[in-house]
Structure 1
Amino acid sequence: MKLIKNYLYNVGNQILLLLVPLITVPYISRVLGPHNSGINAYTNSWVTFFYLIGQMGVMMYGNREIAYTRDDLGTRSKTFWEIAFLQIIMSSLSLLAYIIMVMITSSPFKLYFLYQSLWIMAYGLDISWYFMGIEDFKKTVVRNSIVKLVSVGLIFIVVRGKDDLSKYILLLGFAQLAGSLTLWPYIKESISWVKLNKLKPFSHFKGSLLLFVPTITTQIYMVINRIMLGQMSTQSLLGQFDYSDKIVKLVLAIVTAASTVMLPHMANKFASGDIKGIKKSLYNSFDFVTALSIPLVFGIMAIAETFAPWFLGKHYVNTGHLMLFEAPMILFIAWSSVTGNQYLMPVKRAHEYTLSVTIGAVINIIANYILIKLLNVNGAAIASVISELAIAAIQLWMIRKSINIGRLLNNCWKYILSGLVMFEAVFYLNQHMLMNIFALLIQMLAGVIIYGMLLFILRAPIIKQASLILKGKNKLVE
């Protein structure tokens, strides 16, 4: 039951992350406009590399290592302090390098780059990986909820016009930093102090570095399209793409919440030698994310072209087209979140995970270079989907000898067929209704009902799993 609660906490957090932009994005997109939104996306893309270098893969590495040692207070405490100090040291060096880079650059966005440095500080002090490792998601969710709600209120008070881009960037950075700081008081409940002379933070450097490589390569193909668009296209089109990507990724977060919960759970199973339990969890989790992601893909595609200009403003028609192109990557990322984060990482096959995302990053860079030249901003969206498909396919191939791939994909046709029928119905409604909040709710409700009924008729596995959970006889992923 604890696993289900953690998943619900994480889903609740992802829903909050979804609801906050539903409130702020329509306001910010209109107040700042596509050009200033593009500047924010461009400068934030660069700082992302630096805070990831500072974290050195600690988010995933620390999560896993704490899961391995969580039953021993002494070992857990020593592990925590060593990883935390490594993170602070590396983030400090990264911050210094970033400031030097900004000061010597001749970019017209230098001031905005400096304001973005708050993100490096915030991630340098972020210890949410510890609470994920001990499977205590409540604290991180409560923290995120408070910070997000406060920042929403401040956005409406502080950001009032196109000249307030600096205030917007500073506000987001300080909110992230405050969120990181609020977790530290909680560690005294489950961590004891360890003398400094007994700590060896750099003993974790190699292990963290091994997970840093896939983290940074993953980020490369997540932000390279923004950087390349900023160089090869206009800031306005970059702003259009950024909002499309954000909306798709926010919806995706509901699906990938399962992976965040499952990584420490699987790592703990592996530490105790429960290989059979790992495989069973994997099959159920793969079916779960497939069942959830396919209707999200078709749902976004059905409403995208009318939703974007209604939600973001009349200047964002292109965003709707981009959402159509990007939507399929929800399914591919959902699959790789299971094969990678829930299997390869917990069972210490990180080198294969690293190889898959590295190949994906290379494919993404090449595809972006070619497709942006040919199709401009549409090319960036298509390149993202191609790279995510490649990563999912490579990881499925990598686990083929230990996991029955046929069993993983056996019921996909039921979800795809149900999703296609749902798409036709929702698209028809979308084309015959004036887009507003009432119409959107009707279309969403119709989609849920149609998809659910078809899954019931086709006897999809997710229906049986849901039934058993409601009866208290099954935990879905156990």
Structure 2
Amino acid sequence: MKWLTSVIKNKTIKNIVSLSLVQGLNYILPLITLPYLVRTLGVHSYGVLTFCVAFNQYFLLFTQFGFNFSATQRIAKARQEKEQISKIFFSVLGAKLFFCFVSFVVLCILIILVPYFYNIKVILLFSFVAIVGDVLFPGWFFQGEEKMSNIAISNILARLSTVPLIFLFVNSTDDVARAALFMGSANVLAGIIAMIAVVKSGRVSLYKPSIKDIKEEIICSWHFFISSAAMSLYTVTTPVLLGAISGPYVLGVFSAADKLRQALQGLLNPVSQALYPKISRMIKEQDRTTVFQFIRKLLTVQAVFGLVVSLICCLGASVIIPLVYNKSGTPDVIAVFEILAWIPFVVSISNVLGIQTLLTTGYKREFSQVIITGGVVNIVLLCLLAFHFEAFGAALSILITEAIITIGMSRMIMKLKIPLFNR
């Protein structure tokens, strides 16, 4: 009984459970809405929607600017300093709002100048609503405070409120713009709810950031942004480039498989997100031997769990895909999914090596170097493989890239003589 009580009171366990609830909802809802959208919109129109959402991810990357890592880490280290936390909070928020404004202006210019963008302007603009919502959502603050329950509550309330709108108002191929709007509105609602939670927490007092304060946060986050930008070369760029090379139908097939892969891979995220601020604090407060013993155990657990997820996905692809998507492009989606299925295992290892080890120990530049190398490799592979093998080639390109990044992270750790592999 004492053991159970200690587990319930453990903050890390609470955070993992809270994030698991969010991820669980993020898996369940796509499993409900994605098949409906693919069937209702058709693979071609769903491909157009995917392109618009994927393209706006560049603006998401810009507005986040790596603050999810840098601000989380800084808040975790300033736990007892309310004034410093307030300064970080409003400086980061100011930077994100400015980046959001710049992003919107750029999007409007592209819509005017690029004929294809002009033809799908409504879908692009409605997809941008999700970016506004992400700017408002202070997940980085709650993660640094290790109060993930606020993230869970905000996301759950928002998504449960907006998902029914998809089933009520998205009924044909002409409703693509509505689907984009409803998907984005969930982010806005979650952001509003989360901001209310920040005010009620009493952890932040009103602070007017100076330009110098905002520049300081941007500089602190620069290497994280470069890493995120490099990651986009094998995450965001893949669907955008595939759509340009092979067209909406092939992109629809790839996205149907990849969205399901991301949902299942997300089973690994709660542990990673909850432990990142904890390990950052441990590095500062405890001896390195204890910290690396903890990271080694985490590496083993995540690798085993990732392998189980990948095996289930690969071996069960022929059952999972028809069950989820009915008959919408089933044979092609299965073939792509069987390749993507191995990514959760590879990522479960690279996450611990990169984020939980290199970033928490301060090797931001070295982390960026590995990610940039992987991003460049993916662009080259994608252009070659997608041209010849379309969606199947794109899936293979991502898998090879993730494997190269994992090897690169392990080699960098050994090069820097970080005692992760030495007992």
TM-score (normalised: structure 1): 0.82
Structure 2 residue 149 is matched with structure 1 residue 141: no
Q: Residue in 1 aligned with 2:328?
A: 315
Structure 2 residue 239 is matched with structure 1 residue 221: no
Q: Residue in 2 aligned with 1:105?
A: 114
Asked if 2 retains the 8 angstrom alpha-carbon contact of 1:309 and 1:316, the reply is: no
Asked if 1 retains the 8 angstrom alpha-carbon contact of 2:130 and 2:186, the reply is: no
C-alpha distance in 2 between matches for 1:165 and 1:198: 40
Q: Residue in 1 aligned with 2:367?
A: 353
Match of 2:198 among 167, 187, 201: 187
Asked if 2 retains the 8 angstrom alpha-carbon contact of 1:18 and 1:250, the reply is: yes
Q: Residue in 2 aligned with 1:82?
A: 91
Q: Residue in 1 aligned with 2:6?
A: none
Query: Offset at 1:247?
Result: 0.6
The size of the alignment, in residue pairs, is 407
Percent of pairs identical after alignment?
22
- Aligned pairs for 1:113-132 (under 5 A) are 113-132=124-143
- Aligned pairs for 1:145-184 (under 5 A) are 145-184=156-195
Structure 2 residue 406 is matched with structure 1 residue 392: yes
Q: Residue in 1 aligned with 2:25?
A: 16
Asked if 2 retains the 8 angstrom alpha-carbon contact of 1:81 and 1:199, the reply is: no
Q: 1:197 to 1:225 in 2, by over 3 A?
A: closer
Q: Which blocks of at least 5 consecutive residues in structure 2 are unaligned?
A: 1-9
The letter for the 1-side match of 2:99 is M
Query: Offset at 1:133?
Result: 0.3
C-alpha distance in 2 between matches for 1:56 and 1:208: 7
Q: Residue in 1 aligned with 2:3?
A: none
Match of 1:280 among 289, 293, 296: 293
Q: Residue in 2 aligned with 1:462?
A: none
C-alpha distance in 2 between matches for 1:186 and 1:308: 39
- Aligned pairs for 1:57-96 (under 5 A) are 57-96=66-105
Match of 2:419 among 390, 394, 403: 403
Report the secondary structure of 1:405's partner residue.
coil
Q: Residue in 2 aligned with 1:242?
A: 255
Query: Offset at 1:195?
Result: 4.4
Q: 1:199 to 1:127 in 2, by over 3 A?
A: farther
Please provide the CA RMSD for this pair. 1.6
C-alpha distance in 1 between matches for 2:222 and 2:120: 31
Q: 1:372 to 1:192 in 2, by over 3 A?
A: same
Query: Offset at 1:345?
Result: 1.3
Query: Offset at 1:8?
Result: 1.5
C-alpha distance in 1 between matches for 2:180 and 2:17: 31
The letter for the 1-side match of 2:238 is N
Asked if 2 retains the 8 angstrom alpha-carbon contact of 1:29 and 1:313, the reply is: no
Query: Offset at 1:406?
Result: 7.2
Q: Residue in 1 aligned with 2:267?
A: 254
The letter for the 2-side match of 1:126 is F
The letter for the 2-side match of 1:163 is D
The letter for the 2-side match of 1:403 is P
The letter for the 1-side match of 2:263 is L
Query: Offset at 1:196?
Result: 4.5
Q: Residue in 1 aligned with 2:317?
A: 304
Report the secondary structure of 1:270's partner residue.
helix
Asked if 2 retains the 8 angstrom alpha-carbon contact of 1:364 and 1:384, the reply is: yes
C-alpha distance in 2 between matches for 1:109 and 1:211: 32
Structure 2 residue 244 is matched with structure 1 residue 264: no
Deviation track 1:263-313 (CA, whole Å, cap 9, x = no partner) reads 111111122253223212211111111121111111111111232123212
Q: 1:386 to 1:196 in 2, by over 3 A?
A: closer
Asked if 2 retains the 8 angstrom alpha-carbon contact of 1:233 and 1:376, the reply is: yes
Asked if 1 retains the 8 angstrom alpha-carbon contact of 2:58 and 2:236, the reply is: no
C-alpha distance in 2 between matches for 1:20 and 1:373: 33
C-alpha distance in 2 between matches for 1:115 and 1:404: 46
Query: Offset at 1:88?
Result: 1.4
Q: 1:386 to 1:43 in 2, by over 3 A?
A: same
C-alpha distance in 2 between matches for 1:404 and 1:198: 40
Q: Which blocks of at least 5 consecutive residues in structure 1 are unaligned?
A: 408-478
Q: 1:186 to 1:320 in 2, by over 3 A?
A: same
Structure 2 residue 339 is matched with structure 1 residue 328: no
Report the secondary structure of 2:233's partner residue.
helix
User: Which protein is bigger by CA-based radius of gyration?
Assistant: 1
The letter for the 1-side match of 2:221 is S
Query: Offset at 1:55?
Result: 2.1
Asked if 2 retains the 8 angstrom alpha-carbon contact of 1:229 and 1:377, the reply is: yes
C-alpha distance in 1 between matches for 2:244 and 2:237: 11
C-alpha distance in 1 between matches for 2:209 and 2:72: 22
The letter for the 2-side match of 1:133 is G
Deviation track 1:425-464 (CA, whole Å, cap 9, x = no partner) reads xxxxxxxxxxxxxxxxxxxxxxxxxxxxxxxxxxxxxxxx
Asked if 2 retains the 8 angstrom alpha-carbon contact of 1:306 and 1:320, the reply is: no
Larger relative contact order (Cα-Cα within 8 Å, sequence gap ≥ 6): 2
Asked if 2 retains the 8 angstrom alpha-carbon contact of 1:332 and 1:388, the reply is: yes
Q: 1:7 to 1:90 in 2, by over 3 A?
A: same
The letter for the 1-side match of 2:281 is N
C-alpha distance in 1 between matches for 2:373 and 2:365: 12
